[in-house]
Amino acid sequence: MTHDASAPVYGSAIAKVEPFGVDHIPDSERHGKPSSQFFVWFAAGLNFPIIMLGFSAAWFGLSFPAAVTAIVIGAALGSLLMAVMSRMGVRLGVPQQIQARGPLGFFGNFLPVAYINVFAGIGWASVTVILGGKAFAGLTHLPFWLCAGVLTLVEMVVAVFGYNMINFLQKALTYVLTPLFALITVVAAVRGGSVFHANPHAQGYIGSTGGLVTFGAWFLSFLVAWAPFASDYSRYLPDTPEVVTRTAWYTGLGNFVTICWLGILGVVVGGSATSSDSITALHQLAGPFALPALLAVGLSALAQNFLNVYGGAISIQTLKVPVTRAQAVIGICVLAYALSLWGESGTEAKFKVFLNLTAYFIAPFVAVLLLDYYLGGRSDPSRIPELYDRSRVLDWGFVAWAGGVAASVPFWQSDFYTGPFSVAHPGAGDLSMFVATGAGAVLYLLTYRLKPLWMRDAGETRHSSGEPDRSRAVASHHR
């Protein structure tokens, strides 16, 4: 029998292990609806780390209106970014991190991916396991290590099955988690809701402007951290103009609603809390409704970590580590679990340090990707084969990314390191991410028309990476 090349190998099967790793998704495998992106990101946003960020408004001494304004602005900017980057996945049919080979080069992309995506994937997975494990431990009175282990195991199995199962479960979790978080919201408003005023004597007060900038930037950073993975969940959708547009809207809406909702909920919880630990504060505030509140936090860890683990596995394959996607998933889960045991105490402080460090490195990476897509001609599907061409060793996008990171260092504001500008002007807030973005963008604009920094003989290296060359055959089918 002859195999029909137009017949899907994977299609929309939920209980089938996804056969694709970082390959281009051929037209025969394109399926799904743009609305799937709403559920993917809405469920991922129904997560306790966002509440934990909002919890810090009182620590900054912000007034309630100022905190809400900062959250809305940060969420709007981040959601717009995610919307645009999800469009790129539909158009090109490859993961976001593979797209970065365009402006940075095949090997120039290794360092950003190694730090940003592998580090971020494992780090975010461990943070979420800690919070989910604590919630289930409080709910069941079982030891933390056991609750965290069970969560990790579930995440591992789902991420091994891959794209279709993740989409299916994110939709299911949306319907389960929405009423639970709605209940938490009502209880928080009734039992502890308060519209508080600015407090110049608060422990973290750095001025009204600086506090607003830093606080809002945290919510923007939360979505910036997702940006290197945005295309991973849209790349299977059919490439039509209508799907591209609707995908962007659904992605942006899914992110914006949950970030604003839970961020403001965190402000309410933090404003009336008597404990410095956010999980404990939520437990106390929920009172007789503590059980559904903790259940929501525990289940929400799954919704976020399905994406963290899956995206991290794609990162490892992008680095050309000789493992399958399933093996990469298992490795990430083992490391994330080990880190969760180490980081169980002092979660809030470690989370904020981690959030800052990832944002400083991701912001210029995202700026380079976007500029390359819209100005560098990377939106043309006929150029997809370049992303799998090992002869393109290093390109100027790497310089733009590295320069953006370097320019931001004096502005860093973190418990890990505080730059000289931030020491001298603490009231300005954390400007690092914005400086990194601007510097990276300027360097890209100055260099993107130049010849690549390092090219090898294409005849010796082209498509020797071991990745299936689906792109060459598929590109001709695109409009």
**Tokens, residue 268:** 């309410």
Domain count for the chain, please give it. 1
- For residues 232 and 92, the answer to whether their CB atoms sit within 8 Å is no
pLDDT, tens only, 167-198: 999 999 999 999 999 998 888 777 766 667 88
Identify the helix (H) or strand (E) that includes residue 393: strand 392-394
Length of the chain measured in residues: 479
Higher local confidence (pLDDT), 51 or 408: 408
What pLDDT does 253 receive?
A: 98
Task: Give the count of beta carbons closer than 10 Å to the beta carbon of residue 345.
Answer: 9
Residue 65 belongs to some domain of the structure: yes
Residue 148 lies in a domain: yes
**pLDDT for 477:** 40
Confidence grade of residue 203 (pLDDT, cut at 50, 70, 90): confident
The amino acid sitting at 98 is I
Q: Looking at the domain assignment, is residue 111 inside a domain?
A: yes
Read off the pLDDT of each residue in 441-457 and give the average, rounded to a whole number: 94
- More confident position, 382 or 469: 382
Percent pLDDT > 90 in the chain is 66
> Is residue 442 assigned to a domain?
no
Q: Could you tell me if residue 418 is inside a domain?
A: no
DSSP per-residue string spanning 286-325: HGGGHHHHHHHHHHHHHHHHHHHHHHHHHHHHHTT-S--H
Mean pLDDT of the chain: 88
Question: How far is Cα of residue 141 from the mean position of the Cα atoms in its chain?
Answer: 31
- The 10s digit of each residue's pLDDT in 35-90 is 999 999 999 999 878 888 888 888 899 999 999 999 999 999 999 999 999 999 99
pLDDT, tens digit, 9 for 90 and up, residues 129-144: 988 998 899 889 999 9
The answer as to whether 388 is a domain residue is no
Q: Is residue 477 part of a domain?
A: no
The answer to whether the beta carbons of residues 377 and 383 sit under 8 Å apart is yes
pLDDT grade, residue 433 (50/70/90)? very high
**Among the listed residues 48, 50, 39, 43, the one whose alpha carbon sits nearest the alpha carbon of residue 75:** 50
Decide if 224 is inside a domain. Answer: yes
Region 324-347: mean pLDDT is 88
Residue 342 has pLDDT above 90, yes or no: no
For residue 475, the model assigns a pLDDT of 40
pLDDT at 350: 65
What is the C-alpha R_g of the chain?
22
What residue numbers bound the domain in which 199 lies? 32-357
The yes-or-no verdict on residue 1 having pLDDT over 60 is: no
What is d(CA 46, CA 71) in angstroms, rounded to the nearest whole number?
15
What pTM value is reported for the model?
A: 0.90
CATH number at residue 212: 1.10.4160.10
